[in-house]
C-alpha cells in the first residue's frame, strides 16, 4: 500500500482501500461522488433543522442524532471528512431550531484539534470562523438557557480568542481577519452588553466591544473599512432578524465605545514602515476615508457622542491634514442620512431619542472657532428648521464637555 503522502491531494484520505493510479475519468467520477455526498449531507442537515412539521416520515431529532454520530469517526486530516464537518457546523444550528447543550458539545468537540491542525491554512481558518456564525447566533436566541449553555459559550469563545491571538501576532491574512470580524459582530449581536462575550488573550480578558475597534488600525484597508462599517453595533443593540428594531446601549457603553473607536481610528492614520504600501498616496487616502467613515457612523447612530464626533472632525482637519472638500463631502452625506433617519423615526416607535436634532450642516453654520475651516462654516443646509446649540457646547479645549443623554 502506498503511503498517504504520495497520493494526489484531491484523493488523500478519501478511501481506506489500497490506492492505485487512477485514470482521469475515474477521478472525475470520484469527485462527483464526493460532491453528491456533501450535497446529501447538507440536505439532511437542512431537513432536521427546519421548523417541526406534522406528518413527516422521519423524526428530525433522530436524524440529527445520527448526523452528530458521524463526528465520532471523523478524521479531519482527510479532506472529505473536513468538508463534511464544515457542512454540519454551518447547517445544523439553523435559525428555526436551537440545538440542545449536548448536541452543541458533539458539534463543537472537534474544533480545537481542527484549528490546531490547520492554523496555517488561511482558507480553512476563514471557513471555520464563518462556520461558527450559526452557532453564535443560536446562542443569542437562547438567553433563557444561559447556565446550560455556559460551556458551549466557553468553547466558542476559546476558538475566537485563539484566532484573535494569531491576528495580533501577524499570522493571519486579510481573509481570516474579515471572517474574524464577522464572528465578533455576531457575538455583539448575541450579547450586546458583553456579559459573557469576553475573550481571553494572553491571560488578559477583554470584552468583544473592545476587541472589535482594534481592527480599525489594521494594515489592510478592507479590514479597516469593514470594521468601520460595524462600529454602530458598539452603540446600538441590533438583531439580525429585526434590523429595523434598534435600541440604544447604556450611556457608559457608548462613551467607552467612542473612546476605543477614536483611539484606534487615530492609530490607523499612521502607516507603519514595515508595511511599505505600493502606492503611499492611495494608502493615505484610504486611511483618511476610514477615519471619516468612523466619525460618520457614530454621528448617525449615537446622539450621546455627537458633539465629540464633531470635534473629532475638526481635530482631524488640523492633525491629520484631511482635505476640506473630503470632510465637506462626508458631512453632506451624513446630513442627508440623518434627515432620512429623522423622517423614519417620526413614523415608527423606536427606542431612540425622539427629540428633533439639528442637522450637522446647521450646527456647523452656527459655530465660529479657529479650528473650523472657513469653507465648511459657509455650507448651506438643504433642510430648513431645527434648533441650534451654543458655541460653548462644542469648545475645542473640552471635546468631552457638554455630552449628555439629551445631546
Mean pLDDT of 66-77: 91
- pLDDT band, residue 8 (cuts 50/70/90): very low
Strand 204-207 to 198-201 pairing: antiparallel
Q: Return the pLDDT at 243.
A: 58
Residue 275: what pLDDT?
56
What average pLDDT does the segment 10-39 reach? 62
pLDDT digits (tens, 9 = 90+) for 176-228: 999 999 999 999 999 988 999 999 998 889 999 999 999 998 888 899 989 98
pLDDT over 80 at 303, yes or no: yes
Structure confidence at residue 108 (pLDDT): 94
**Unique residue bearing C-alpha cell 455650507:** 379
Lowest mean pLDDT among 22-26, 271-275, 291-295, 367-371: 367-371
HEC secondary structure over 333-354: HHHHHHHHHHHHHCCCCCECCC
Q: What angle (nearest 5°) sits at the alpha carbon of residue 264, between those of residues 259 and 270?
A: 140
pLDDT confidence band for 341 (50 / 70 / 90): low
Beta bridge partners of 248: 236
* Higher per-residue pLDDT: 300 or 143: 300
Percent of the chain beyond pLDDT 90?
Answer: 29
Q: 356 with 386: CB under 8 angstroms?
A: yes
* Mean pLDDT of the 309-329 span: 79
Cα 54 to Cα 150: distance, rounded to the nearest angstrom:
32
Inter-residue long-range contacts of 248-252, CB under 8 Å, 24+ positions, other chains counted? 248/302, 248/304, 248/351, 248/352, 248/353, 249/192, 249/193, 250/193, 251/304, 251/405
Q: What whole-number percentage of the chain has pLDDT above 70?
A: 69
The upper half-sphere exposure of residue 252, i.e. CA atoms within 13 Å in the direction of its Cβ, equals 2
pLDDT of residue 10: 39
**Cell for 29?**
467520477
Cell of 189: 449581536
Domain spans in the chain, listed from the N-terminal domain onward: 1-16+23-97, 135-265, 303-346+355-399
DSSP state string for 4-43: GGGS-TTTTTS-SSPP----HHHHHHHHHHHHHHHHHHHH
Give the C-alpha separation, 275 to 220, whole Å: 9
pLDDT at 135: 93
Sign of CA dihedral 105, 109, 115, 116: positive
pTM for the complete prediction?
0.76
User: Residue 22 and residue 310: Cα distance in Å, rounded?
Assistant: 67
Alpha helices in 212-320 (DSSP H): 221-229, 251-267, 280-301, 306-319
Tell me the three cell numbers of residue 141: 436566541
Amino acid at each position: 500500500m502506498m503511503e498517504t503522502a504520495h497520493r494526489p491531494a484531491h484523493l488523500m484520505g478519501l478511501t481506506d482501500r489500497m490506492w492505485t493510479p487512477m485514470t482521469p475519468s475515474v477521478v472525475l467520477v470520484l469527485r462527483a461522488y464526493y460532491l453528491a455526498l456533501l450535497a446529501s449531507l447538507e440536505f439532511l442537515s437542512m431537513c432536521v433543522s427546519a421548523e417541526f412539521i406534522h406528518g413527516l416520515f422521519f423524526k428530525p431529532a433522530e436524524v440529527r442524532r445520527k448526523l452528530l454520530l458521524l463526528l465520532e469517526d471523523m478524521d479531519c486530516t482527510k479532506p472529505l471528512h473536513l468538508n463534511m464537518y464544515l457542512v454540519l457546523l454551518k447547517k445544523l444550528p439553523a435559525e428555526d431550531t436551537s440545538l440542545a447543550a449536548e448536541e452543541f458539545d458533539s458539534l463543537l468537540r472537534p474544533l480545537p484539534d481542527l484549528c490546531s491542525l490547520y492554523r496555517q491554512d488561511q482558507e480553512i481558518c476563514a471557513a471555520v470562523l464563518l462556520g461558527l456564525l450559526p452557532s453564535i447566533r443560536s446562542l443569542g436566541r437562547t438567553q433563557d438557557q444561559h447556565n446550560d449553555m455556559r460551556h458551549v459559550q466557553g468553547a466558542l469563545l476559546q476558538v475566537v480568542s485563539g484566532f484573535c491571538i494569531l491576528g495580533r501576532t501577524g499570522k493571519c491574512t486579510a481573509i481570516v481577519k474579515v471572517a474574524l470580524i464577522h464572528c465578533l459582530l455576531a457575538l455583539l449581536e448575541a450579547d450586546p452588553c458583553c456579559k459573557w462575550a469576553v475573550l481571553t488573550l494572553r491571560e488578559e480578558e477583554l470584552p468583544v466591544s473592545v476587541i472589535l475597534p482594534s481592527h480599525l488600525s489594521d494594515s489592510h484597508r478592507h479590514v479597516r473599512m469593514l470594521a468601520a462599517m460595524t462600529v454602530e453595533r458598539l452603540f446600538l443593540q441590533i438583531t439580525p432578524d429585526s434590523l429595523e428594531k434598534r435600541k440604544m446601549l447604556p450611556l457608559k457603553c457608548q462613551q467607552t465605545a467612542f473612546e476605543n473607536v477614536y483611539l484606534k481610528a487615530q492609530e490607523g492614520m499612521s502607516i507603519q514602515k514595515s508595511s511599505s504600501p505600493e502606492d503611499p498616496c492611495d494608502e493615505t487616502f484610504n486611511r483618511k476615508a476610514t477615519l471619516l467613515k468612523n466619525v460618520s457612523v457614530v454621528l448617525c447612530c449615537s446622539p450621546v457622542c455627537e458633539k465629540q464626533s464633531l470635534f473629532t472632525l475638526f481635530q482631524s482637519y488640523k492633525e491629520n491634514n484631511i482635505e476640506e472638500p473630503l470632510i465637506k463631502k462626508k458631512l453632506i452625506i451624513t446630513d442627508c442620512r440623518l434627515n432620512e433617519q429623522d423622517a423614519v423615526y417620526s413614523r415608527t416607535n423606536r427606542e431612540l431619542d425622539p427629540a428633533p436634532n439639528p442637522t450637522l450642516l446647521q450646527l456647523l453654520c452656527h459655530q465660529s472657532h479657529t479650528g473650523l475651516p472657513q469653507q465648511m462654516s459657509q455650507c448651506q443646509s438643504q433642510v430648513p428648521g431645527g434648533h441650534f446649540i451654543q458655541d460653548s457646547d462644542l469648545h475645542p479645549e473640552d471635546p468631552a464637555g457638554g455630552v449628555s443623554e439629551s445631546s
